[in-house]
Amino acid sequence: MAPVIQDNGWLRAMPWVFVLIWSTGFIVARFGMPHAPPLSFLAVRYALSILCFLPWILVAGVKWPTSRMQALHLAVTGILMHGVYLGGVWMAVKAGMGAGLSSLIVGIQPVLTAIWLTSVGGQHVSRRQWLGLVLGFAGLVLVVSRKFGAGGPGDSANWINLPFAVMALFAITVGTLYQKRFVQPCDVRSANTVQLLAALLGTLPLALLETEAMRWILPGGGWNGELIGAMAWSVLGLTLGGSSLLYLLIQRGAAASVTSLMYLVPPCTAFIAWLLFAEPITATTLAGTALTAFGVSLVVRSPVSRKP
């Protein structure tokens, strides 16, 4: 079983800490992508993360998944939520998409999750939810349309980077729903290690096809302060911290309520990207982001019970 967290204060803080850490993932992509191929970077990130988890598992005596089926389910979620999701985001950023825009596109995840849950669960889609779907999509179109074919390096959308961001959106959505449905509670450290191993095995063959895939890994092959910092935070902050928190949140809450946290990520990312990279925050961007966040909130918000 996953370790029990006794501190109620920490339990309340977990979602907010997760949002802050998760927002930095898009920022780290902007720092790392000018210096390394995206899939090669991720393959190294997965390998280093596994090397960090293994001693922790051995020293703590953590148990591994008890069945092959459980390991298989973890592997599927690892490929989706690490390999395809991160691969899509980093490829999109490498192809010129801004951190704020990529986070906004992936932030539509709660809408897709709500659609899936209502259709599979046979729940009625209310007028409020349909309104939220329309508003959320309209907000995304408003932001993307302004940046499509425009903007400088790292702040544009085009037919190359947009499909990668959409791929990441579907991967994190399906991965979250799959984990909630099929993965039984187990220790987050061993579960994360299995997921990372699956992501590494799936990413490595594609990474080897990248131009200069191995040259940058060697000493003197392009390592600098930004790349080292991006790799260190990717391993320690995002994988060991953010991914572990996401796993715990999914295990402890409903899929819809967990994914509703994602609509807080785009504003946070956009603000950090503005501070660090001067990615413009125009009135159109603010209006589109606010419209998307409001639309998503209408979809995922629980209906208010009326007293007789």
Q: What is the pLDDT along the chain (308 residues), one digit of tens a residue?
A: 444 444 566 666 777 788 889 888 888 888 887 888 899 999 999 999 999 999 989 998 989 988 999 999 999 999 999 999 999 999 998 888 887 788 878 877 877 877 777 777 555 657 887 787 778 778 777 776 666 655 555 567 788 889 999 999 999 999 988 988 898 888 888 999 999 999 999 999 999 888 665 666 665 566 788 888 999 999 999 988 888 887 777 777 655 556 666 667 777 887 888 888 877 777 887 888 788 778 777 766 655 544 44
Distances in whole angstroms, Cα of residue 262 to Cα of each of 196, 268, 277:
22, 10, 22
Q: Based on C-alpha coordinates, what's the Rg of the chain?
A: 19
Reference 300, options 182, 173, 175, 166; nearest CA is: 173
> pLDDT, tens digit, for every residue of 59-92?
989 899 889 999 999 999 999 999 999 999 999 9
- Residue 255's pLDDT is 54
Return the SS3 of 189. helix
pLDDT given at position 169: 93
Which residues have CB under 8 Å from 53's CB, separation 6+?
Answer: 189, 190, 192, 193, 196, 240
- Residue-level pLDDT at 133: 74
- Residue 123 CA neighbour count, 13 Å, CB half: 16
- pLDDT at position 306 is 46
Per residue in 272-287, pLDDT (tens digit) is 888 888 777 778 878 8
- Element holding 176 (H helix, E strand): helix 161-182
Structure confidence at residue 155 (pLDDT): 61
Alpha carbon distances (Å) from 139 to 27, 148, 177, 263, 286: 22, 14, 24, 12, 10
Tell me if the pTM is above 0.85.
Answer: no
Given this model, what pLDDT does residue 305 score?
47
Predicted local distance difference test score (pLDDT) of residue 9: 62
Q: What integer pLDDT is reported at residue 175 of this predicted model?
A: 92
Residue 48: predicted pLDDT:
95
285: Cβ contacts below 8 Å, ≥ 6 apart: 100, 143, 146, 270
Q: Residue 16: what pLDDT?
A: 79
Answer whether 173's CB lies under 8 Å from 112's CB. Answer: yes
